[in-house]
Amino acid sequence: MRGPGPRLLALAAEERSSGPALSRGVGRPLLRLHRSDRGDIGIFFLLIGILFYCSAALVWNVGLVTTRKMQVQTAADAMAYSAATWTSRCVNLMTGTNMMILRNTTAQAAASGVVAVTIGVPIWWAVEIVRAIGCAPPPFNIPCIIAAVARVAAEIPSYAQFVADSAPDAFEAVFSNTFPDRISEIHRFQNELFDATYDAIETQRQAYEQQYGVRLWVARPGDGDGLVRAPVRGGDFLSFLPVVMLRWVLSDNNLPGDADFNSFNSVGRANMMWNITTLATLAIMAAVHGGDHYVLESQLGPLELSPADEGREKFTVVAVAAAEDVAGPSFMASGLFSHAVSPSNTVVAYAQAETCNGIDERLASTGIPLPWPFRVWTTWGWQWQPRLTRGDLLNEAFENDDAMREAIVAGGVPEPYHALIHHLSHH
């Protein structure tokens, strides 16, 4: 019997089962494919590789963001400390130049006093002799004249020495206006220093932006203009007269001359001429040059308040640094993430620094107040220095400084940071 019939009957009858039949012929390839496990480990490694790649990308992104955060925080710290350093230097130099202004003011008073005594004593001698001539009718006035001439003669050597030592320089200084001109020149330097301090801070800000590759803003809390200036302002008559009078009385009010210039009439007159002339000169100088100096912004009339008591924000700077490149295409596996692994689409850091004076802490420990302008008029005023402090004035900086807030928004900082600004300015 030919054809497929006998073969099919044989297959059906063999072992009356499909298993052995399927194990041979056309069923064998199907079973072999069903039972083979070759390639399973490859799928496992593919899944592990994808997971490892994603993890590596995640760690890499987090590491870059963390490193960038450290760089941005360093930039903010450096900017705040630098601004405080420049303002400290400015206040220290203001102290030194204020002391020079004081010395030139009292020098002008002393020179005027010398001129007054130099001219006034001979006039007083003439008055003494005229009085002696009129003390009695001639010839009974001869004893009075002899006594007056004797007093004048006794004073002439000391007067001559006084004139030789003091008069030439005093007359030259008074009539050439030397000391008032120096005061005006020193004050011009103070004005330039005040402006240069702001320029230096701005130049430093731009340099840090380039060095760290960030956007930087720096301001004084409460000013509202987004600028940083030294914590000083122009003085006036009330801030100048008390301290110049105090210096005059304590150190500079000395009548030039030697100990022999002490005849009982003329020395009294000389002292009177000296005191009247010098005090009048100091009052005139205070009126004319009272505004030619700088005082602390915490100054209140003739009193100097400590920055810790009032106006502390004037001695503080707040710096904000933002890096906008953390979500850029340079990150590894950027296609796997819609944004960088960061709380927001940028990295932001803040820093606060203050211009401080060590005398504040020492005086606070002793409980000694300062009843007069002090730090900007004495050598203790040269102790201004910068220090980084806790950011307790950050909210005030954003809340009161519209210019700074607008600059940050206009600077292209991503939207999440706008929400942070809003949060800071309302909480």
Q: What is the DSSP string of 37-50?
A: -TTHHHHHHHHHHH
* Mean pLDDT comparison of 172-176, 356-360, 368-372, 412-416, highest-scoring range: 172-176
Q: Identity (one letter) of the amino acid at 295?
A: V
Mean pLDDT of 135-158: 86
Residue entry with tokens 């001539």 = 133
Mean pLDDT of 390-405: 74
pLDDT digits (tens, 9 = 90+) for 157-171: 888 888 888 899 999
pLDDT tens-digit map of 264-280: 355 567 888 888 999 99
Residues above pLDDT 90, as percent of the chain: 29
For the beta carbon of residue 207, count every other beta carbon within 10 angstroms. 14
How high is the pLDDT of residue 330? 44
Using the predicted structure, report yes or no on whether residue 96 has a pLDDT greater than 80: yes
Strands 347-357 and 316-323, by their bridges, are antiparallel
**Mean pLDDT, range 168-195, rounded to an integer:** 95
How many alpha carbons fall within 13 Å on the CB side of residue 343? 8
Q: What is the DSSP string of 185-242?
A: HHHHHHHHHHHHHHHHHHHHHHHHHHHHT-EEEEE-TTTSSS----SEEE--HHHHHH
pLDDT of 236-248, one tens digit each? 998 899 889 988 9
* The pLDDT value given to residue 194: 93
Tell me the HSE value of 109 on the side-chain side, using a 13 A CA sphere.
28
Residue 151 main-chain phi, psi, to 5 deg = -65, -40
pLDDT at residue 59 greater than cutoff 60: no
Most confident of 36-40, 122-126, 331-335, 370-374: 122-126
Quote the pTM value.
Answer: 0.74
Element (H, E) at 321: strand 316-323
Average pLDDT, the chain: 77
Q: What is the pLDDT of residue 275?
A: 86
Element (H, E) at 109: helix 40-133
